[in-house]
Structure 1
Amino acid sequence: MLDADLLAAAAEATGFMPADEGAALAQAALAAPDGPILEVGSYLGKSTLYLAAAARVRGGKVVTVDHHRGSEEHQPGWEYHDPHLVDPAVGLIDTLPGFRRTIAAAGAEDVVVAVVARAEDVARLWATPLALLFLDGSHTDESAQRDLAGWAPHLTVGGVLAIHDVFADPADGGQAPYRIYRQALDSGTYTELTGQGSLRLLRRDR
């Protein structure tokens, strides 16, 4: 059973993860094999709390990797830009303070390990097999491809690859997550599990 307090905190947190997709992500993490859970792209920590609701019950950790300077869509002039997230000292997006507040307010600091860096840099240094890998970083093709190429090899056999914002129809959303989802599925390495909404879940078979 998932941690009810963290589920409730996740549902109330600021972010772009619908509650039904977040619950599905948490259940997938709970059912994953032994090992750490890793999230690429944390924003303000909403999806992190869904993963933490599983990690606490599992007795494990959630590692989040994000440079916290915002994705392309968070920059000035783009659809999801929030001027309140700009650090006036440097003139750049900084989501780390909001992320830390979210995790602290939910009482999840004991299960969340935040790595502030570019995902591709950390992937080159990573060595521990992952139980669940959640890709929800920048949605450009270049970045999404880097995330898949850099992190999928670290997923243990039987582990779960979760990809967010997967839309088959371009009218519903950007296509980069859909393309890496298709690439992973078409590789023959994964079997698709039951997802929810724009969340796709794949089990690594080999």
Structure 2
Amino acid sequence: MTMPQQLRYAAEHAKGFMPREEGLALYEAACTYGALGPICEIGTYCGKSAIYLGAAARRVGTVVVTVDHHRGSEEIQPGWAHHDPTLVDPRFGKMDSLPTFRATIAAAGLEEEVIAVVGRSDRVAALWNTPLSMLFIDGGHSEEPVTEDYEGWAPHIVVGGALVFHDVHPDPADGGQAPYRVYLRALESGDFGLVSVTGSLRVLERTRA
């Protein structure tokens, strides 16, 4: 399915780390699975990937719930390569991507499709009980948060729904290994089968409860 040009432009020019080809693959996956129920994204940052998901949600008639505490994962804190000083709230000396996210989604016209939940993924997961058509894991990339995101949220994916990982790098020279290890764990569980690979994006489908 072709993504509307205006939304594609908005996604490509939003602040974030999602390459265009991977974003379009994410959009296609959300179009394919989204009719089964709501989509959940773990790791919102400034809303780049939420535009791809929101555009798909609009097409198939569902919503995206995107979960983030908006204080930044480890790799975007001061002193790290992906740190953006413009996102630091000087009042508290902490990262705060929420205002930029809200502006991004409003400018894209997707406020009806994209629902922001502000909080830690593990805390929200403990309260969650709605079946999901698709789960996109793209939060903190160290071992603990990726594992918590998988363990807390993957059980809510319906059979026939999708589990999508970002920043899966089999070669350590290309990036951190935690998403790759948890991705392998999902495959080895026997609950999910690999559907597609686009860059560092992996789309898996739940094959059994």
For Structure 1 versus Structure 2, the TM-score category normalised by the shorter chain is over 0.9
Alignment partner of 1:125: what SS? coil
- Give the match for residue 159 of structure 1: 161
Question: Per-residue CA shift, 1:38-75, capped at 9, x if unaligned?
Answer: 00001100000000110001111010000000000111
CA distance in 2, matches of 1:3, 1:55: 11
Does residue 58 of structure 2 align to residue 25 of structure 1?
Answer: no
- Give the match for residue 132 of structure 1: 134
CA distance in 1, matches of 2:186, 2:7: 30
Question: Per-residue CA shift, 1:78-99, capped at 9, x if unaligned?
Answer: 1111111110111100000010
The TM-score with structure 2 as length reference comes to 0.96
Which region of structure 1 is more displaced relative to structure 2, 174-183 or 28-37? 28-37
- Give the match for residue 8 of structure 1: 9
- Whether the aligned pair in 1 keeps the contact of 2:21 and 2:198 (CA below 8 Å) is yes
* 1:77-116 correspondence to structure 2 within 5 Å: 77-116=79-118
Structure 1 portions without partners, runs of 5+: none
Does residue 44 of structure 2 align to residue 62 of structure 1?
Answer: no
Does residue 152 of structure 2 align to residue 150 of structure 1?
Answer: yes
Alignment partner of 1:39: what SS? strand
- Give the match for residue 200 of structure 1: 202
CA distance in 2, matches of 1:2, 1:57: 10
Structure 2 portions without partners, runs of 5+: none
Percent identity at matched positions?
59
Alignment partner of 1:47: what SS? helix
Partner AA of 2:93 in structure 1: G
How far is the alpha carbon of 1:3 from its aligned partner? 4.5
Partner AA of 1:122 in structure 2: V
- Whether the aligned pair in 1 keeps the contact of 2:16 and 2:45 (CA below 8 Å) is yes
Q: Number of residues paired by the alignment?
A: 206
The TM-score with structure 1 as length reference comes to 0.98
- Whether the aligned pair in 2 keeps the contact of 1:2 and 1:26 (CA below 8 Å) is no
